[in-house]
A = this chain, B = another copy of it.
Amino acid sequence: MVLLRDTQKRIKGSRVFLIGPLKIGNKKEIPGGILDHSKIIGKSVRDIVKTNKDKSYTIHFPTLDEYVVMIPRLMTPIYPKDANTIVALLDLHPYSRIMEAGTGNGSLTLYLARSLYPTGHLHSIDINRDASVKARENVTRFSRGIYSNCISFSIGQCSKVLDSMDITPSIYDGVALDMPEPWNELPSIVQRLKIDRYIVCYLPNMTQVLELIKQIKYYKIALATEQVLEIQWRPWDVRATVIRDRMGDESFSVKQLTLNDEIPNQALGHICRPSHEPTGHTAFLVQLKKIVHT
A-side interface residues toward B, CB under 8 Å? 45-46, 60-61, 63-65, 80, 84-85, 87-89, 91, 93-94, 114-115, 117-119, 146, 195-196, 204-207, 209-210, 213-214, 217, 225, 227-240, 260, 269-278, 280-281, 284, 292, 294
Contacts and interface: CB of A to CB of B under 8 A. Distances in A.
Given A93-B146, A276-B281, 5 more contacts: A205-B270, A205-B271, A207-B271, A230-B232, A230-B234
Contacts of A232: 230-232, 234
Contacts of A217: 240
- How many of these chains are in the complex? 4
Nearest to A274: B281
Contacts of A115: 115
Contacts of A213: 238-240, 270
Q: DSSP class of A's interface residues: helix, strand, loop or mixed?
A: mixed
Given A88-B84, A118-B94, A236-B229, A280 B276 contact: yes
A181 B253 CA distance: 22
A64 B231 CA distance: 19
B225 A46 contact: no
Given A272-B206, A280-B275, A235 B227 contact: yes
